[in-house]
Amino acid sequence: MTDMPSADLRKVVRLKPKAEARAIRHGFPWVYADELVTDRRTQSLPPGALAVLEDGERRPLGLVTVNVKSKIIARMLDRDPEAVIDENWFAARLTRALDLRERLFDAPYYRLIHAEADGLPGVVIDRFGDAAVIQPNAAWAETHIDALAAALRKVTGVTTVIKNGTGRSRSLEGLPEETTVLAGGVSGPIPVLMNGATYMADVMGGQKTGLFYDQRPNHAFAARLAKGARVLDVFSHVGGFALAALAGGAESALAVDASAAALTLATEGAAASGVADRFATRQGDAFEVLEALGAEGARYDLVICDPPAFAPAKPALEAGLRAYERIARLAAPLVAPGGYLILCSCSHAADLSSFRNASARGIGRAGRRGQILHTGFAGPDHPLLPQLAESGYLKSLVFRLD
Protein backbone atom coordinates (compact mmCIF):
# COMPACT_ATOMS: atom_id res chain seq x y z
CA MET A 1 0.00 0.00 0.00
CA THR A 2 2.97 2.32 0.44
CA ASP A 3 6.62 2.65 -0.45
CA MET A 4 7.41 4.65 2.68
CA PRO A 5 10.27 3.31 4.80
CA SER A 6 10.49 3.83 8.54
CA ALA A 7 10.98 7.42 9.64
CA ASP A 8 14.70 7.11 10.36
CA LEU A 9 15.40 5.69 6.86
CA ARG A 10 13.48 8.22 4.79
CA LYS A 11 15.27 10.12 2.08
CA VAL A 12 15.99 13.79 2.74
CA VAL A 13 16.19 16.66 0.26
CA ARG A 14 17.22 20.15 1.18
CA LEU A 15 16.55 23.68 -0.01
CA LYS A 16 19.53 25.74 -1.08
CA PRO A 17 20.66 28.25 1.58
CA LYS A 18 19.24 31.22 -0.36
CA ALA A 19 15.96 29.53 -1.28
CA GLU A 20 12.84 31.04 0.28
CA ALA A 21 11.61 28.56 2.90
CA ARG A 22 9.06 31.07 4.19
CA ALA A 23 6.82 30.56 1.17
CA ILE A 24 6.78 26.80 1.78
CA ARG A 25 5.98 27.30 5.46
CA HIS A 26 3.12 29.63 4.50
CA GLY A 27 1.52 27.14 2.14
CA PHE A 28 3.21 27.38 -1.25
CA PRO A 29 3.23 23.76 -2.45
CA TRP A 30 6.07 23.68 -5.01
CA VAL A 31 9.85 23.70 -5.03
CA TYR A 32 11.48 24.63 -8.33
CA ALA A 33 14.57 22.89 -9.67
CA ASP A 34 16.88 25.85 -9.01
CA GLU A 35 15.80 25.98 -5.34
CA LEU A 36 16.79 22.45 -4.32
CA VAL A 37 20.20 20.97 -3.63
CA THR A 38 20.57 18.37 -6.38
CA ASP A 39 23.51 16.31 -5.19
CA ARG A 40 24.18 12.74 -6.28
CA ARG A 41 21.73 11.30 -3.74
CA THR A 42 18.92 13.57 -4.92
CA GLN A 43 19.69 12.91 -8.58
CA SER A 44 19.42 9.17 -7.92
CA LEU A 45 15.83 9.40 -6.64
CA PRO A 46 13.35 7.84 -9.08
CA PRO A 47 10.53 10.08 -10.36
CA GLY A 48 7.77 10.26 -7.76
CA ALA A 49 10.00 9.27 -4.85
CA LEU A 50 9.01 10.50 -1.39
CA ALA A 51 11.39 12.46 0.83
CA VAL A 52 11.48 14.79 3.80
CA LEU A 53 12.11 18.39 2.74
CA GLU A 54 14.41 20.43 4.94
CA ASP A 55 15.27 24.10 4.84
CA GLY A 56 18.85 25.36 4.55
CA GLU A 57 19.32 24.94 8.29
CA ARG A 58 18.17 21.29 8.20
CA ARG A 59 14.78 21.95 9.79
CA PRO A 60 12.02 19.71 8.39
CA LEU A 61 9.30 21.40 6.35
CA GLY A 62 7.21 18.37 5.44
CA LEU A 63 6.93 15.32 3.22
CA VAL A 64 7.39 15.95 -0.50
CA THR A 65 7.42 14.00 -3.72
CA VAL A 66 10.50 14.49 -5.89
CA ASN A 67 10.95 14.37 -9.65
CA VAL A 68 14.37 15.57 -10.79
CA LYS A 69 13.15 15.47 -14.41
CA SER A 70 10.58 18.19 -13.76
CA LYS A 71 10.96 21.96 -13.36
CA ILE A 72 8.72 21.51 -10.33
CA ILE A 73 11.24 19.27 -8.63
CA ALA A 74 9.31 18.79 -5.38
CA ARG A 75 5.64 18.99 -4.42
CA MET A 76 4.41 19.18 -0.86
CA LEU A 77 2.26 16.20 0.12
CA ASP A 78 1.95 16.55 3.87
CA ARG A 79 3.22 19.03 6.46
CA ASP A 80 3.89 16.06 8.72
CA PRO A 81 7.28 14.67 7.65
CA GLU A 82 6.32 11.31 9.18
CA ALA A 83 3.09 10.92 7.21
CA VAL A 84 2.53 7.55 5.55
CA ILE A 85 1.17 7.75 2.01
CA ASP A 86 -1.14 4.77 1.80
CA GLU A 87 -4.79 4.00 1.08
CA ASN A 88 -5.88 5.49 4.40
CA TRP A 89 -4.02 8.72 3.67
CA PHE A 90 -5.75 9.01 0.28
CA ALA A 91 -9.11 8.17 1.86
CA ALA A 92 -8.77 11.05 4.32
CA ARG A 93 -8.10 13.55 1.50
CA LEU A 94 -10.91 12.15 -0.62
CA THR A 95 -13.40 12.20 2.27
CA ARG A 96 -12.70 15.86 2.91
CA ALA A 97 -13.15 16.69 -0.77
CA LEU A 98 -16.32 14.62 -1.06
CA ASP A 99 -17.91 16.35 1.93
CA LEU A 100 -17.58 19.70 0.14
CA ARG A 101 -18.99 18.47 -3.16
CA GLU A 102 -21.96 16.76 -1.52
CA ARG A 103 -22.83 20.07 0.12
CA LEU A 104 -22.62 21.89 -3.22
CA PHE A 105 -24.32 19.51 -5.64
CA ASP A 106 -27.50 17.44 -5.61
CA ALA A 107 -26.11 14.80 -7.97
CA PRO A 108 -22.66 13.14 -8.16
CA TYR A 109 -21.40 14.95 -11.23
CA TYR A 110 -18.52 17.29 -10.42
CA ARG A 111 -14.79 17.71 -10.03
CA LEU A 112 -13.95 15.75 -6.92
CA ILE A 113 -10.23 16.53 -6.69
CA HIS A 114 -8.69 19.75 -7.99
CA ALA A 115 -5.01 18.97 -7.55
CA GLU A 116 -3.06 21.05 -5.03
CA ALA A 117 -6.18 22.87 -3.83
CA ASP A 118 -7.57 19.55 -2.56
CA GLY A 119 -4.28 18.31 -1.15
CA LEU A 120 -3.36 15.93 -3.99
CA PRO A 121 -0.77 17.78 -6.10
CA GLY A 122 -0.93 17.11 -9.79
CA VAL A 123 -4.07 14.94 -9.48
CA VAL A 124 -7.44 15.68 -11.06
CA ILE A 125 -10.50 13.49 -10.47
CA ASP A 126 -13.83 14.13 -12.17
CA ARG A 127 -16.90 12.15 -11.12
CA PHE A 128 -19.64 10.99 -13.46
CA GLY A 129 -22.15 9.22 -11.24
CA ASP A 130 -20.89 5.68 -10.68
CA ALA A 131 -17.74 6.37 -12.73
CA ALA A 132 -14.71 8.51 -11.98
CA VAL A 133 -11.79 9.60 -14.15
CA ILE A 134 -8.36 10.13 -12.58
CA GLN A 135 -5.75 12.26 -14.28
CA PRO A 136 -2.43 11.49 -12.54
CA ASN A 137 -0.43 14.41 -13.92
CA ALA A 138 2.52 14.00 -11.55
CA ALA A 139 4.91 11.07 -11.22
CA TRP A 140 4.08 10.37 -7.58
CA ALA A 141 0.41 9.86 -8.39
CA GLU A 142 1.33 7.39 -11.12
CA THR A 143 3.39 5.45 -8.58
CA HIS A 144 0.52 5.35 -6.08
CA ILE A 145 -2.35 4.96 -8.56
CA ASP A 146 -3.53 1.61 -7.15
CA ALA A 147 -3.87 2.93 -3.59
CA LEU A 148 -5.57 6.09 -4.90
CA ALA A 149 -8.05 4.11 -7.00
CA ALA A 150 -8.84 1.76 -4.11
CA ALA A 151 -9.46 4.67 -1.75
CA LEU A 152 -11.60 6.40 -4.38
CA ARG A 153 -13.87 3.38 -4.72
CA LYS A 154 -14.08 2.94 -0.96
CA VAL A 155 -14.91 6.57 -0.16
CA THR A 156 -17.28 7.41 -3.03
CA GLY A 157 -18.77 4.04 -3.92
CA VAL A 158 -17.97 4.44 -7.63
CA THR A 159 -17.70 1.15 -9.50
CA THR A 160 -15.78 2.34 -12.55
CA VAL A 161 -12.39 4.05 -12.32
CA ILE A 162 -10.56 5.21 -15.45
CA LYS A 163 -7.02 6.51 -15.60
CA ASN A 164 -6.70 9.24 -18.24
CA GLY A 165 -2.95 9.57 -18.63
CA THR A 166 -2.86 12.12 -21.43
CA GLY A 167 -1.98 15.78 -21.71
CA ARG A 168 0.84 18.30 -21.59
CA SER A 169 1.34 18.06 -17.82
CA ARG A 170 2.34 14.39 -18.03
CA SER A 171 4.92 15.08 -20.71
CA LEU A 172 6.49 17.72 -18.46
CA GLU A 173 6.78 15.02 -15.76
CA GLY A 174 8.35 12.54 -18.15
CA LEU A 175 5.29 10.28 -18.08
CA PRO A 176 3.86 8.29 -21.02
CA GLU A 177 0.40 8.90 -22.45
CA GLU A 178 -2.12 6.13 -21.85
CA THR A 179 -5.76 5.67 -20.94
CA THR A 180 -6.71 2.54 -19.04
CA VAL A 181 -9.65 1.13 -17.08
CA LEU A 182 -8.62 0.44 -13.48
CA ALA A 183 -11.99 -0.92 -12.35
CA GLY A 184 -15.37 -1.62 -13.91
CA GLY A 185 -16.02 -0.27 -17.38
CA VAL A 186 -18.26 1.90 -19.56
CA SER A 187 -20.15 1.03 -22.72
CA GLY A 188 -20.29 4.52 -24.20
CA PRO A 189 -20.65 8.23 -23.44
CA ILE A 190 -22.17 9.09 -20.06
CA PRO A 191 -25.11 11.56 -19.99
CA VAL A 192 -24.58 14.41 -17.54
CA LEU A 193 -27.35 16.84 -16.59
CA MET A 194 -26.17 20.42 -15.99
CA ASN A 195 -28.09 23.68 -16.09
CA GLY A 196 -31.12 21.98 -17.57
CA ALA A 197 -29.20 20.47 -20.50
CA THR A 198 -27.85 16.97 -21.06
CA TYR A 199 -24.20 16.63 -22.06
CA MET A 200 -22.59 13.46 -23.36
CA ALA A 201 -19.21 12.80 -21.71
CA ASP A 202 -16.82 10.49 -23.52
CA VAL A 203 -14.74 9.45 -20.51
CA MET A 204 -12.57 7.05 -22.54
CA GLY A 205 -11.68 9.05 -25.63
CA GLY A 206 -12.79 12.65 -25.15
CA GLN A 207 -10.76 15.72 -24.28
CA LYS A 208 -9.42 15.82 -20.72
CA THR A 209 -11.78 13.70 -18.61
CA GLY A 210 -14.62 13.94 -21.15
CA LEU A 211 -16.40 17.08 -19.91
CA PHE A 212 -15.46 20.53 -18.63
CA TYR A 213 -17.17 21.01 -15.29
CA ASP A 214 -15.33 24.27 -14.63
CA GLN A 215 -17.60 26.33 -16.90
CA ARG A 216 -20.84 25.26 -15.18
CA PRO A 217 -21.55 28.64 -13.47
CA ASN A 218 -20.58 30.56 -16.61
CA HIS A 219 -22.90 28.40 -18.69
CA ALA A 220 -25.66 29.31 -16.23
CA PHE A 221 -24.96 33.04 -16.54
CA ALA A 222 -24.94 32.82 -20.33
CA ALA A 223 -28.27 30.98 -20.25
CA ARG A 224 -29.81 33.97 -18.44
CA LEU A 225 -28.86 36.17 -21.40
CA ALA A 226 -29.98 33.67 -24.02
CA LYS A 227 -33.78 33.80 -23.81
CA GLY A 228 -35.07 34.37 -27.34
CA ALA A 229 -31.52 34.87 -28.63
CA ARG A 230 -29.64 33.61 -31.66
CA VAL A 231 -26.50 32.05 -30.19
CA LEU A 232 -23.06 31.30 -31.62
CA ASP A 233 -20.85 29.03 -29.50
CA VAL A 234 -17.26 28.82 -30.80
CA PHE A 235 -14.90 26.13 -29.46
CA SER A 236 -18.09 24.43 -28.31
CA HIS A 237 -16.61 21.00 -27.52
CA VAL A 238 -19.60 18.74 -26.64
CA GLY A 239 -22.13 21.57 -26.63
CA GLY A 240 -20.74 23.78 -23.88
CA PHE A 241 -22.53 27.09 -23.81
CA ALA A 242 -24.85 26.25 -26.72
CA LEU A 243 -26.83 23.54 -24.94
CA ALA A 244 -27.13 25.61 -21.77
CA ALA A 245 -28.36 28.56 -23.83
CA LEU A 246 -31.00 26.43 -25.54
CA ALA A 247 -32.12 25.12 -22.16
CA GLY A 248 -32.43 28.76 -21.12
CA GLY A 249 -34.77 29.53 -24.01
CA ALA A 250 -32.51 30.54 -26.88
CA GLU A 251 -34.16 30.74 -30.29
CA SER A 252 -31.28 28.85 -31.94
CA ALA A 253 -27.67 27.88 -31.36
CA LEU A 254 -24.80 27.13 -33.71
CA ALA A 255 -21.91 25.13 -32.21
CA VAL A 256 -18.49 25.46 -33.86
CA ASP A 257 -15.58 23.12 -33.18
CA ALA A 258 -12.66 21.57 -35.03
CA SER A 259 -13.49 18.10 -33.70
CA ALA A 260 -16.12 16.13 -35.57
CA ALA A 261 -16.30 13.66 -32.68
CA ALA A 262 -17.03 16.44 -30.20
CA LEU A 263 -19.77 17.87 -32.41
CA THR A 264 -21.34 14.42 -32.75
CA LEU A 265 -21.55 14.23 -28.96
CA ALA A 266 -22.97 17.76 -28.90
CA THR A 267 -25.67 16.71 -31.37
CA GLU A 268 -26.49 13.68 -29.22
CA GLY A 269 -26.68 15.98 -26.20
CA ALA A 270 -29.07 18.30 -28.04
CA ALA A 271 -31.32 15.35 -28.86
CA ALA A 272 -31.23 14.13 -25.26
CA SER A 273 -32.07 17.66 -24.11
CA GLY A 274 -35.04 17.92 -26.47
CA VAL A 275 -33.61 20.90 -28.37
CA ALA A 276 -32.30 19.23 -31.54
CA ASP A 277 -34.64 21.30 -33.74
CA ARG A 278 -32.96 24.52 -32.59
CA PHE A 279 -29.37 23.24 -32.65
CA ALA A 280 -26.86 23.16 -35.51
CA THR A 281 -23.13 22.51 -35.85
CA ARG A 282 -20.31 23.70 -38.06
CA GLN A 283 -16.98 21.91 -38.10
CA GLY A 284 -13.80 23.82 -38.83
CA ASP A 285 -10.94 25.92 -37.56
CA ALA A 286 -12.45 28.53 -35.26
CA PHE A 287 -10.54 31.48 -36.71
CA GLU A 288 -11.49 30.50 -40.25
CA VAL A 289 -15.14 29.97 -39.32
CA LEU A 290 -15.30 33.36 -37.57
CA GLU A 291 -13.85 35.04 -40.66
CA ALA A 292 -16.29 33.20 -42.91
CA LEU A 293 -19.29 34.12 -40.77
CA GLY A 294 -18.17 37.74 -40.86
CA ALA A 295 -17.95 37.64 -44.66
CA GLU A 296 -21.41 36.10 -44.78
CA GLY A 297 -22.83 38.97 -42.74
CA ALA A 298 -24.02 36.67 -39.96
CA ARG A 299 -25.24 38.29 -36.74
CA TYR A 300 -26.05 36.78 -33.36
CA ASP A 301 -27.51 38.12 -30.15
CA LEU A 302 -25.06 36.14 -28.04
CA VAL A 303 -21.58 35.03 -29.12
CA ILE A 304 -19.34 32.89 -26.90
CA CYS A 305 -15.70 31.98 -27.54
CA ASP A 306 -14.19 29.44 -25.15
CA PRO A 307 -10.85 28.46 -26.71
CA PRO A 308 -8.19 26.08 -25.39
CA ALA A 309 -5.28 27.54 -23.47
CA PHE A 310 -3.43 29.85 -25.84
CA ALA A 311 -0.89 30.67 -23.11
CA PRO A 312 -0.37 27.50 -21.04
CA ALA A 313 3.02 28.77 -19.80
CA LYS A 314 4.93 32.04 -19.61
CA PRO A 315 6.98 31.51 -22.81
CA ALA A 316 3.70 31.42 -24.76
CA LEU A 317 2.16 34.47 -23.06
CA GLU A 318 2.70 37.12 -25.73
CA ALA A 319 1.58 34.87 -28.57
CA GLY A 320 -1.36 33.75 -26.48
CA LEU A 321 -2.52 37.29 -25.75
CA ARG A 322 -2.33 38.10 -29.46
CA ALA A 323 -4.54 35.07 -30.14
CA TYR A 324 -7.09 36.21 -27.55
CA GLU A 325 -7.08 39.68 -29.11
CA ARG A 326 -7.64 38.19 -32.55
CA ILE A 327 -10.55 36.08 -31.31
CA ALA A 328 -12.19 39.19 -29.86
CA ARG A 329 -11.58 41.16 -33.07
CA LEU A 330 -13.19 38.46 -35.23
CA ALA A 331 -16.09 37.73 -32.87
CA ALA A 332 -17.17 41.29 -32.04
CA PRO A 333 -18.52 42.13 -35.54
CA LEU A 334 -20.79 39.08 -35.33
CA VAL A 335 -22.63 40.49 -32.30
CA ALA A 336 -25.85 42.32 -33.11
CA PRO A 337 -26.20 45.85 -31.64
CA GLY A 338 -27.00 45.55 -27.94
CA GLY A 339 -25.99 41.90 -28.00
CA TYR A 340 -23.54 40.05 -25.78
CA LEU A 341 -20.04 38.70 -26.26
CA ILE A 342 -18.55 36.19 -23.81
CA LEU A 343 -14.82 35.59 -24.01
CA CYS A 344 -13.06 32.92 -21.95
CA SER A 345 -9.49 31.98 -21.12
CA CYS A 346 -8.19 28.86 -19.38
CA SER A 347 -4.54 29.93 -19.69
CA HIS A 348 -2.50 29.68 -16.50
CA ALA A 349 0.01 32.26 -17.71
CA ALA A 350 -2.51 34.95 -18.71
CA ASP A 351 -3.83 36.72 -15.62
CA LEU A 352 -7.23 38.38 -15.57
CA SER A 353 -5.90 41.88 -16.24
CA SER A 354 -3.84 40.79 -19.26
CA PHE A 355 -6.72 38.77 -20.70
CA ARG A 356 -9.20 41.62 -20.16
CA ASN A 357 -6.89 44.09 -21.87
CA ALA A 358 -6.31 41.79 -24.85
CA SER A 359 -10.05 41.23 -25.21
CA ALA A 360 -10.81 44.97 -25.02
CA ARG A 361 -8.15 45.71 -27.65
CA GLY A 362 -9.67 43.17 -29.99
CA ILE A 363 -13.17 44.55 -29.54
CA GLY A 364 -11.87 48.07 -30.12
CA ARG A 365 -9.99 47.04 -33.26
CA ALA A 366 -13.27 45.64 -34.56
CA GLY A 367 -14.79 49.10 -34.21
CA ARG A 368 -17.07 48.11 -31.35
CA ARG A 369 -17.48 49.46 -27.84
CA GLY A 370 -19.17 47.98 -24.83
CA GLN A 371 -19.35 47.40 -21.12
CA ILE A 372 -18.30 44.46 -18.97
CA LEU A 373 -21.33 43.05 -17.20
CA HIS A 374 -19.80 40.12 -15.42
CA THR A 375 -16.50 38.38 -14.72
CA GLY A 376 -16.80 34.66 -14.13
CA PHE A 377 -14.48 31.98 -12.82
CA ALA A 378 -14.53 28.23 -12.31
CA GLY A 379 -17.16 26.69 -10.06
CA PRO A 380 -16.63 25.88 -6.38
CA ASP A 381 -15.72 22.28 -7.21
CA HIS A 382 -12.53 23.87 -8.60
CA PRO A 383 -11.29 25.57 -5.41
CA LEU A 384 -8.31 27.91 -5.42
CA LEU A 385 -5.24 27.45 -3.30
CA PRO A 386 -4.52 31.05 -2.20
CA GLN A 387 -0.75 30.56 -2.38
CA LEU A 388 -0.90 29.10 -5.92
CA ALA A 389 -2.18 31.43 -8.62
CA GLU A 390 -2.15 28.60 -11.17
CA SER A 391 -5.08 26.92 -9.39
CA GLY A 392 -7.33 29.81 -10.50
CA TYR A 393 -6.81 29.51 -14.24
CA LEU A 394 -10.30 30.11 -15.70
CA LYS A 395 -11.58 33.60 -16.58
CA SER A 396 -14.82 34.55 -18.34
CA LEU A 397 -15.69 38.09 -19.45
CA VAL A 398 -19.24 39.06 -20.42
CA PHE A 399 -19.49 42.19 -22.60
CA ARG A 400 -22.56 44.01 -23.85
CA LEU A 401 -21.67 45.70 -27.13
CA ASP A 402 -23.08 48.97 -28.50
From the number of C-beta atoms within 10 Å of its C-beta (0-12, 13-18, 19+), residue 271 rates as: middle
Instruction: Choose, from 346, 360, 378, 401, the residue flagged as catalytic.
Output: 346
Residue 19 CB: number of other CB atoms within 10 A? 18
- Burial class, 28, CB count within 10 angstroms (exposed 0-12 / middle 13-18 / buried 19+): middle
Q: Where are the beta strands (DSSP E) in 239-391?
A: 252-257, 279-283, 300-305, 335-345, 370-376
Dist. CA 171–CA 165, nearest whole Å? 10
Query: If we measure between CA atoms, which residue out of 327, 328, 310 comes closest to residue 319?
Result: 310
What values do phi and psi take at 372, rounded to 5? -90, 120
Distances (CA, A) of 10 to 7, 51, 96, 143, 223: 6, 6, 27, 17, 54
Q: Rounded distance, CA 287 to CA 295, Å?
A: 12
Tell me how far apart the alpha carbons of residues 67 and 370 are, in angstroms, rounded to a whole number. 48
Q: Are strands 160-165 and 131-136 parallel, antiparallel or unpaired?
A: parallel
CA atoms of 73 and 71, how far apart (whole Å): 5
Compute the distance between CA of residue 48 and CA of residue 381 in angstroms, rounded to an integer: 26
Respond yes or no: is residue 346 known to be catalytic: yes
CA count, 13 A, side-chain hemisphere, 331? 35
The helix or strand, by DSSP H or E, that contains position 39, with its residue range, turns out to be none
Pair 43, 56: CB distance under 8 Å: no
CB 52 within 8 A of CB 12: yes
Q: Which residues are catalytic?
A: 346
